[in-house]
Amino acid sequence: MAGFTHVEGLSSADVQRLRATYEPLAQSVRELVDATIRSEVDADDVAAAKAHIEAATELLRARQIDGPFGVRITSDGDRMPWGNPAIGIRNAIAPPLRMVRDDDGVMSTDFHLGAAYEGPPGHVHGGIVAMVLDHVLGEVAANDPLTPRFTGTLTIRYLRATPLGDLRAEGWITRTDGIKTFAVGHVRDAAGITAEAEGVFIPPKWARG
């Protein structure tokens, strides 16, 4: 398996410039994903919108990388997981989650999920809840951001349906045993916890150095 892509010649200022270019683009695509689900306009207006979308895609594809984005590490040490479907600022599928680690080692993220994440009417798809929890637990398990941890096992208990809207997820490490890191966490809304998770995470062979 390929590891990180090490990108030479990109300064932190270059990374900020690229971020300023592509983050608003992806945000506009997120709005479009939502509008595509919720629109009630007629076939002619849909056709006109589709023509605009295809024009945008053609402009963006004029020069593109050959394959997925990967996880890029610059020579300045900037980590760019920008294509990631949970946290990727360039990925319109990602809410994106913005992860914060506090002084006690708790990883948390406050986020908002709208129409694009709906499973049961008005509520978050159970698989999206799983994706958020997998990401938060995996990220807290990777204490060193340059040493990834892959999920070994993940168990989720759904206490009640998670409503669409403003949510928070938290995760922390409970213990380590050799290369295994054990983590737990939950998703909550304003009324309390909706789903709990526990997982075991291990570094991939290529990152065990």
Please give the residues from 63 up to 92 whose contact with a copy of itself meets the rule CB under 8 A. Answer: 63-65, 67-71, 82-86, 88, 90-92
Contact with a copy of itself (CB under 8 A) among 11, 12, 46, 179? 46
Verify binding: residue 93, a copy of itself, rule CB under 8 A.
yes
Residue (of 173, 174, 179) closest to 143 by Cα position: 173
Closest separation between CB of residue 209 and a copy of itself, Å?
16
Q: How far is the CB of 63 from a copy of itself (least distance, A)?
A: 5
DSSP 122: T
DSSP 67: S
> Which of 13, 43, 190, 191 touches a copy of itself by CB under 8 A?
43
The tokens for 13 are 């200022």
Q: Which amino acid is at 132?
A: V
**What are the residues whose beta carbons fall under 8 Å from the beta carbon of 136, sequence distance 6 or more?**
97, 99, 107, 108, 109, 169, 170, 171, 185
Helix (H/G/I), strand (E/B), else coil: 96? coil
The smaller minimum CB distance to a copy of itself, of residues 173 and 202, is found at: 202
Determine if 138 is a binding residue for a copy of itself (CB under 8 A): yes
Query: Between residues 35 and 179, which has the closer beta carbon with respect to a copy of itself?
Result: 35
Q: Dig out the tokens for 69 from the structure.
A: 């984005």
Examine residue 96 and say whether the peptide bond preceding it is cis (omega within 30 degrees of 0).
yes
Phi, psi angle pair for 183, to nearest 5°: -135, 150
Query: How far apart are CB 103 and a copy of itself at their closest, in Å?
Result: 26
Residues 142-201 that bind a copy of itself (CB under 8 A): 148, 150-158, 161, 164
Nearer to a copy of itself, 124 or 173 (CB): 124
118 closest CA partner among 107, 110, 126, 109: 126
The least distance separating a copy of itself from the CB of residue 143, rounded to whole angstroms, comes to: 17
The only residue of 106, 114, 168, 182 in contact with a copy of itself, by rule CB under 8 A: 114
Among 123, 141, 181, 185, binds a copy of itself (CB under 8 A): 123
- Are the beta carbons of 142 and 201 closer than 8 angstroms? yes
By CB under 8 A, the count of residues binding a copy of itself is 91
